[in-house]
Homo-oligomer: A and B are copies of this chain.
Amino acid sequence: MPYVKIKIMEGRSIEKKQKMVEQVTNALVNSLDVKPDDVRIEILELREGTFAHAGKLASKKTE
């Protein structure tokens, strides 16, 4: 632990995702006094047509 799951709409570059996991890992190391080796992050990318808000299926643009 900690085990982190981050849900985002599909479409980000691998570089952006690498930057995200680095910054989120640092945020957890600083705030929870854990070691980087303790931190696991799973990225779940939701495809268009798989997420709805207020009864409407979201497309990438509206995300």
Interface residues of A (CB under 8 A from B): 1-9, 12, 14, 16-28, 30-32, 35-37, 39-46, 49-57, 63
Contacts and interface: CB of A to CB of B under 8 A. Distances in A.
B4 A4 contact: yes
The A interface is mostly helix, strand or loop, or mixed, namely mixed
A50 to B, nearest CB: 5
Contacts of A52: 21, 25, 39-43
A13 to B, nearest CB: 10
B54 A25 contact: yes
Nearest to A22: B55
Contacts of A12: 32
A1 B63 contact: yes
